[in-house]
């Protein structure tokens, strides 16, 4: 594989102390993440977790009639497969690659062994990071449900674009309107209208399945408060991009006990 790939392009892996990272590194497998690839389906036993580096994965809830809606996105800030270390082997959601790239795959059993290496205040940095990430992910899921119920499609699209941009190193997304409609759980015509509104105001440019964000501050101003709530929680709980300062082993325990 190209030398440009590094597991520490994933922020969780980058934040691990050298000893914990060294235990996982030999078992991390670099894999391509093509657009539309399904990593796991609802109810299927999960055997691996994925640490995206330059790809984005959508977590979708799928109804009995096949209709679906996105409940969260995961990129280089996180991990796909939280059910494996939270005590379950399956999940009611589907994991679908929404932006192509790469990820590092790890056998679920290996992750669970590292997660369970110690508990309480003596728990390792990976254990603490994964718990913090899970809290942030739950916030994103809850805010997405609220947003889909109470905010306009224009606002939802702005939120979705901003969350995607936060997980990419470019201002361009390869994304069809049909795929966006499936993610948001709306009709394609609605996405066409909303994308047209954003394009008319000079916020984005859309052509042939590619969306280029031209005015990010304008996009943030037009979005509802849901994007800011989710971003604030991720910033509060997780290492910043490019920050490879290891998280102290007692970090999460201290965080819990210091909360009012």
CATH of the domain at 18: 2.60.120.10
Is the distance from CB of 76 to CB of 107 less than 8 angstroms? no
Please indicate, yes or no, if residue 245 is contained in any of the structural domains. no
pLDDT at 256 over 60: no
What is the C-alpha to C-alpha distance for residues 161 and 49, in angstroms, rounded to an integer?
25
Residues 90 and 156 reside in one and the same domain: no
Q: In what order do the strands lie in the sheet with 48-52?
A: 29-33, 101-107, 48-52
**Residue 260 tokens, joined:** 């009012």
Give the chain's mean pLDDT.
87
Burial of 140 (0-12, 13-18, 19+ CB in 10 A): buried
Whether residue 196 is found in the same domain as residue 135: no
Q: Both tokens of residue 172? A: 């361009």
Quick one: how far is CA 77 from the chain centroid?
Answer: 7
Residue 20 forms part of a structural domain = yes
**Domain hosting residue 219, numbered range:** 152-223
CA distance 250 to 243: 18
Residue 260 has pLDDT above 60, yes or no: no
Q: Output the pTM of the full model.
A: 0.86
Indicate if 116 and 183 belong to the same structural domain: no
Tens-digit pLDDT profile for residues 203-226: 999 887 889 999 999 999 999 999
pLDDT at 244 > cutoff 60: no
Report the pLDDT averaged over residues 253-258: 36
Which of 174, 180, 208 has its CA nearest to residue 55?
174
**CATH code, domain carrying 194:** 1.10.10.10
In a domain, 258, yes or no: no
Query: Does 255 have pLDDT greater than 70?
Result: no
What's the number of domains the chain is made of? 2
């Amino acid at each position: 594989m190209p030398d440009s790939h590094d597991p520490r392009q994933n922020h969780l892996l980058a934040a691990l102390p050298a000893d914990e990272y060294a235990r996982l590194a030999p078992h991390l497998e670099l894999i391509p993440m093509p657009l539309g690839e399904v990593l796991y389906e609802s109810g299927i036993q999960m055997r691996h977790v994925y640490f995206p580096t330059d790809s984005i994965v959508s977590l979708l809830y799928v109804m009995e009639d096949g209709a679906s809606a996105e409940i969260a996105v995961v990129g280089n800030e996180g991990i796909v497969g939280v059910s494996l270390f939270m005590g379950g082997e399956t999940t009611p959601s589907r994991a679908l690659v929404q932006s192509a790239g790469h990820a590092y795959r790890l056998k679920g059993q290996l992750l669970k062994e590292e997660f369970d290496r110690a508990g309480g205040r003596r728990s390792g940095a990976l254990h603490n990071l994964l718990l913090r990430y899970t809290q942030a992910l739950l916030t994103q899921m809850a805010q997405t449900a609220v947003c889909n119920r109470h905010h306009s499609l224009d606002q939802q699209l702005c939120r979705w674009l901003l969350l995607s941009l936060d997980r990419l190193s470019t201002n361009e997304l390869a994304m069809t309107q049909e795929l966006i409609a499936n993610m948001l759980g709306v009709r394609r015509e609605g996405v066409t209208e909303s994308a047209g509104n954003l394009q008319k105001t000079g916020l984005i440019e859309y052509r042939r399945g590619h969306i280029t964000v031209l005015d990010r501050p304008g996009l943030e101003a037009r979005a509802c408060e849901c994007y800011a709530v989710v971003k604030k929680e991720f910033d509060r709980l997780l290492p910043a991009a490019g920050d490879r300062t290891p998280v102290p082993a007692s970090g999460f325990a201290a965080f819990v006990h210091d909360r009012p």
